[in-house]
Structure 1
Amino acid sequence: MFTRLGAMLVFSLALSLPAQAEQKVQVGDYAIHYVSFGSTFIPPSIAKNYDITRSRYIGLVNIMVKDTSQDKVGTALSAEITGYAQNLLGSQKNLRFKEIREGDAIYYIAEIEHRNEETFTFSIDINNGTDLDTNLQFEQKFYVD
């Protein structure tokens, strides 16, 4: 039960952050939800449970894919998610996404090291092995708190 609660807290916390609100992109029958935020927003017990590093210099990227087709509305999907982040100087960092499954929910979390006020452009490939094969791009500035 705690792990289910932990995942819900991770995702709901991410959704409640006013400066880094959750964002969504619709690709065909799929809704891709994504958010990035500082890892210190995660309570220590939840970070420990999911092996997430809490640090002023670590940001998190959270991706979730949901089916929005008529017969499967809201069903979370597993996907292959890979990508990288590039800062304004052109330095690239590969992202290693970790899948978290809790009941019917499936989340993908990656950590990224950053400096204060460092801005990254994220390029994330999402593929479900059938009819979803897309690239998600977004920009995020991280702060050391």
Structure 2
Amino acid sequence: MKALFRTLVLGLMVAIAPTVMAADGDAKGGQYKLLGDWQVHYIAFPSTFIQPAIAKAYGLTRDEKKAIINISVLKNREGTPAQHVQISGTAKNLIGNGPTLEFKEVVEGDAIYYLAQMDFYNEEIYRFDITIRQDNQEQTLKFQQKFYAQ
């Protein structure tokens, strides 16, 4: 089940990356940002993109107006493992309304993901402001995403 989730998330990153990158303006050719010593990989997508069994296994709610935010942090060196970090953040629509995100850590072998969920309105743009901490290092990931109800 874990391998299936990892495959699904990677597939979604490839499929959705051009849309998110266009909204975010990231022209690096990948769905990540370099922040200090880290490569921070991120994706936000409607929860209906995942299968019911996978949602249940990870305690996620599938709903046409609920999104999943997935963040993973790697050292910015080849061959380094995913990092355990403290992560918090918010998602705000264009008038400044939105939730505080509650992330939970998922560990699958060497992979570490931080998952959060939020409600959204169809065709609304959300600006994400994610704070990542580890020891004495702190970085902020900012991106935006437009969501469509399925």
* Same topology, TM > 0.5: yes
Distance 2:20 2:4 in 1: 20
Whether the 8 Å CA contact 2:36–2:139 is kept in 1: the answer is: no
Distance 1:14 1:47 in 2: 15
Match of 1:35 in 2: 43
Match of 2:147 in 1: 142
Greater strand share, structure number = 1
Q: Report 1:1-145 matches (<5 A).
A: 2-3=1-2, 5-18=3-16, 19-20=19-20, 23-69=31-77, 73-130=79-136, 132-145=137-150
Whether the 8 Å CA contact 2:20–2:144 is kept in 1: the answer is: no
Deviation of 1:13 (Å): 3.0
Distance 1:46 1:78 in 2: 23
Deviation of 1:6 (Å): 3.5
Q: CA RMSD in A?
A: 1.7
Greater helix share, structure number = 2
Q: Once the two structures are superposed, what CA deviation does each residue of 1:78-130 show, in whole Å capped at 9, x if it has no partner?
A: 10000001111221310000110000100001101011111111100001124
Residue type matched to 1:136 in 2? Answer: L
* 3-state SS in 1 of match to 2:56: helix
Deviation larger for 12-21 or 46-55 = 12-21
Distance 2:38 2:142 in 1: 16
* 3-state SS in 2 of match to 1:17: helix
Q: TM-score when scaled to structure 2?
A: 0.85
Residue type matched to 1:87 in 2? Answer: N
Distance 1:68 1:135 in 2: 16
Whether the 8 Å CA contact 1:68–1:75 is kept in 2: the answer is: no
Between the two proteins, the alignment pairs up a number of residues equal to 140
Distance 2:75 2:5 in 1: 19
